[in-house]
Amino acid sequence: MKALFEFLTKEFNPNAVPAYLGTERDRLIRRITGKKMNRKMPDITVNIDLNTDRVELNVRSIYVYGKYQKLTRDMPQTKWKRKIFKTSVQGIIEKPLLKQTKSKDSSFHGSGREDVNVRCLGWRPFVIELIRPIKRKIDLRRILKKINKSKKVKVKSLKIVDKNVVRKIKFADYDKTYKAVVSFENPVKSLKNVSRLKNNIISQRTPIRVLRRRSDKIRRRKVKEIKYKMLNKTKAEFKIRTQSGLYVKELITGDNGRTEPSISSLLDNKVKKIELDVIKIHSG
C-alpha cells in the first residue's frame, strides 16, 4: 500500500491536473490491490484534497438483514447509553459480526421494537449496520451458529443487503399477534364483553409511559382478532391481532382512560399484572 499512499499524496498543482490523472490513478490502484473499481457502489471512497495534500477514506458500511427472536424478558432491543442491562438484542447479534469484520461499531434497525419486559417469540425483521469494517467477507452461516448458541436471542435468514432496505424495515406496517396473561384485581365473572373489541377501532392517546419521547396525540388503530380464556378466577389469557402501531398494554389496562375501549373498562376490573409476548409478526 506504500506505493498507493505515495501516489495519492503526491503534490499536484490543483490548477493543472492532467486529464489522464484519474485514469492513471485507477490503473495504479487496480494493479496494487488487484481489485476492479465499482463506480456506483464502491466499498471505499478516496477523497483527495489537492490544496492540503490530505487523503480521506470513507468506508461503506455493511448491512446484514435477518429476523430475530427475543427469548427472555428484561432485555432491550438496542444498546443503552446507561449500563442498566448487561446486554441487548443488538449486543448479542453484533458481537460475532464485529469480530469477523473488525468493524468500529454497529447500528441496529428493527421493524418496530418490543418493550424491555416483553418477549418476541415471533420473528422480527431487522438490519444491522456494521460501521467502518476492515474485512468485508462474512461467513453468515458461521455467524448464525454463533448467535444461536445464545439462550436469549435466535436469528434466521441472514443475508447482505443494500442500505435502502433499512428504510423499508423502519417504515413497514406489519400486523402483530400478541399473547397476554393478565391478572385482575377482582374475580372475573365473564369475558364475553371483550369480544366487542374485534374489528373495532381503538382511540389511543399517547400512553403516559412514553410521553417523554412521543408527541401527545390520539392514534386510531384496529383490533383485527381477539381470543380469550380464563386460567383461574382472577387470571385470563388473551391472543390479540392488531394493526401496526397499537399499544397493547394500554389496550388491556385503559391507561387511566387514555385508551378507549379497553379490556379493563369492558370488564370493569382493574389490571394488576401483564405478561406479554409478541407471538407473530405478519411480515409475509
DSSP 3-state of 195: helix
- Tell which residue, 127, 88, 130, has the closest CA to residue 109: 127
Question: Are 166 and 201 found together in one domain?
Answer: no
Q: Looking at the structure, do residues 246 and 201 belong to the same domain, yes or no?
A: yes
Q: What is the pLDDT of residues 246-268, one digit of tens each?
A: 999 999 999 999 999 999 999 99
Shared domain for 155 and 237, answered yes or no, is no
Cβ distance 122 to 280 under 8 Å? yes
Task: Give per-residue pLDDT as tens, 94-131.
Answer: 999 999 999 999 999 999 999 999 999 999 999 999 99
Whether residue 180 sits in one domain with residue 243: yes
- Do 50 and 80 fall into the same domain? no
Work out how many domains the chain is built from and give that number.
Answer: 3
| CB atoms inside a 10 Å sphere around CB 46 | 13
Cα-to-chain-centroid distance, residue 109: 4
Backbone torsion region of residue 165, taken as left when φ is above 0, otherwise alpha when ψ lies between -120 and 50, otherwise beta: alpha
Q: Which domain holds residue 6?
A: 2-58
Both 67 and 147 in a single domain? yes
Q: Please check whether residues 69 and 53 belong to one and the same domain.
A: no
Give me 47's grid cell: 477523497
**Together in a domain, 66 and 54:** no
**Number of residues that this document lists for the chain:** 284
Active site residues: 115
Same domain, yes or no, for 45 and 145?
A: no
- Alpha carbon distances (Å) from 81 to 4, 78, 84, 88, 143: 40, 10, 9, 12, 26
Residue 142, φ and ψ in degrees, nearest 5 = -65, -40
| pTM score of the predicted model | 0.85
Bigger pLDDT: 257 vs 2: 257
Q: Say yes or no: 207 and 225 in one domain.
A: yes
Of the candidates 170, 199, 220, which is a domain's last residue?
Answer: 170
Among 58, 75, 100, residue at a domain's last position:
58
